[in-house]
Amino acid sequence: MDDPNAQTSTDPSERRPITLASLSLGATLGVVGALFGVLATEAGLSTAQACAMSLLVFTGATQFTVVAILNSGGSIVAALLSGTVLAARNLAYGPIVAPWFRSSSRAERLLIAQLVIDESTAVGAAQRTDPLRKYGFLAGGLSVYFFWNLGTLLGALMGNLVQSPEAFGLDAAFPAAFIALLLPHLRTSEGRRAAGIAAVLVGAALTVLPGSAAILAAVLGAVIIGWNSKALPSEFEAEPA
């Protein structure tokens, strides 16, 4: 029997459901991107700065963490350190994604690296052959990238028009956004362990450190726990073909 991973092309009928799922995923996350845009302007970022962050950083947890720390009065150094630590987790996806792009040039892989996030990796890994995994990764990544940045722009423009965010309940948006980002990770024992230890750490750190430093301590603690666990939760592992 031929190895399905040896295929070099995919049938349009196989790509269609992946495309539709990717568009649906992107549109959903575009709403979260709009929320980020609103909160970024509330934290003092301009529309251009909020859009630049989404274009260049493109990782939701990191972006929300940075603006949350800034909004709470934390320093730019603490915000950037926390964001960098959180973004570093995407390095674990490199060995999963790399085999799908063996034939790509170095320049192409450099551009593709911008799309390495949870969602694009999950869409790619869910497919049954390497060509479909490559297509799923690109479809999911490009869809999320487009809608996330469109949502950020619209949210930032809307945020500039809102004079009193509290009147619209936006003061509760930060914790709500973080809960939404946290919930999927609680499906694994590693995620629950990291979340529990981070909660204990931030609670203890708040008694002796300012808010931004306490958050940074919790982030570092959670990353240390994650580093000693599996590189990826089971839902990101591709099924054998």
Q: How far apart are CA 150 and CA 173, in angstroms?
A: 19
Average pLDDT (67-81) is: 81
Any idea where the domains of the chain sit in the sequence?
15-236
User: In terms of pTM, does the model score above 0.85?
Assistant: no
pLDDT tens for residues 172-229? 555 665 566 566 667 777 677 777 777 777 677 666 665 556 666 666 666 665 555 5
* pLDDT at residue 215, as a whole number: 61
pLDDT tens for residues 24-36? 999 988 988 998 9
Q: How far apart are CA 167 and CA 163, in angstroms?
A: 9
Instruction: Please provide the distance, in angstroms rounded to a whole number, between the alpha carbons at the two ends of the chain.
Output: 12
Tokens (6 digits) for 103: 């034939």
Query: By mean pLDDT, which of 121-130, 141-150, 201-210 is the weakest?
Result: 201-210
Average pLDDT (95-105) is: 93
* pLDDT at residue 189, as a whole number: 77
* pLDDT at residue 47, as a whole number: 95
Q: How far is CA 102 from the centre of its chain?
A: 24
| Model confidence at 77: pLDDT above 60 | yes
Q: How far apart are CA 136 and CA 118, in angstroms?
A: 13
| Model confidence at 23: pLDDT above 90 | yes
| Model confidence at 21: pLDDT above 60 | yes
Q: How far apart are CA 241 and CA 150, in angstroms?
A: 36
* Pair 108, 219: CB distance under 8 Å: no
pLDDT tens for residues 157-188? 988 876 555 555 555 555 665 566 566 667 77
